[in-house]
Structure 1
């Protein structure tokens, strides 16, 4: 199984916003899951690459000789070479990392391609993560602060809940 994950980006310029662009979701955690009546099964997770591409290899036999009901779960957590860089959390009641699930599709086995196109609201969450990823990459690639620890190591957390009673709950790309 393979596919790509894309999001909507709205580039800014000195004269305002440019037309929306479709860009890859880089280094996000994606999991293949099977829907079951009692509890869902995980068949593994991976991360998307720089082009938003992912691939899974898994046994497509659930032991019951039945059709699989599969879906993907995309987590708003960025991981580069095994290092967690940033996650985006919902701060409404429970501080949970944003997760999005695709629709379920049926599979009797064999190769499947499943591309994921995020909605505008979902894209906003990953646009925040992308901004932190770009800053983290730039900082570490340029050596960091002179005379100090040059590598930024801890995972960043972005706390976001649009319009939930917080005057300062917003995101401005620039």
Structure 2
């Protein structure tokens, strides 16, 4: 269960290279792992097979991050993965009312969890972009995370709509009436 290999603050990338656990790549795929765990928690409430597909794709994305972009024959984020996110987003968004205000995170349990996942996804995207300043990354890693955060927002709205729950909307000046 334990190797003691990380006791001195280093870990191995998928390429076998040893790096500091503070390396931007490690931070990026750690954020992706956190996102994947949170989507698993959303799945407990939502029971949506798309989320299971996304969890598998996030494992592929983590593998893409942990192996240098120039190494062939490794798992990589592919355009078809981004396309599926866009298709899901378009399909769910088409059934939702137009946005006329900012949506506050919340509503149903599933929607609230999806909003938290969306914010973690945005952080993972920022961590990937930071890592890309020092490491050559697959060109679609950040694109995938950007689309996924869009989909998580739409799915949160859809979860509220499916439950007949009004979306919490931002009101200028807060709750003052």
TM-score range, shorter chain: under 0.3
TM-score of the two chains, using structure 1 as the length reference = 0.27
Q: Which structure is richer in relative contact order (CA contacts within 8 A, separation 6 or more)? A: 2
Q: Which has the higher strand share?
A: 1
Q: Which has the higher helix share?
A: 2
TM-score of the two chains, using structure 2 as the length reference = 0.27
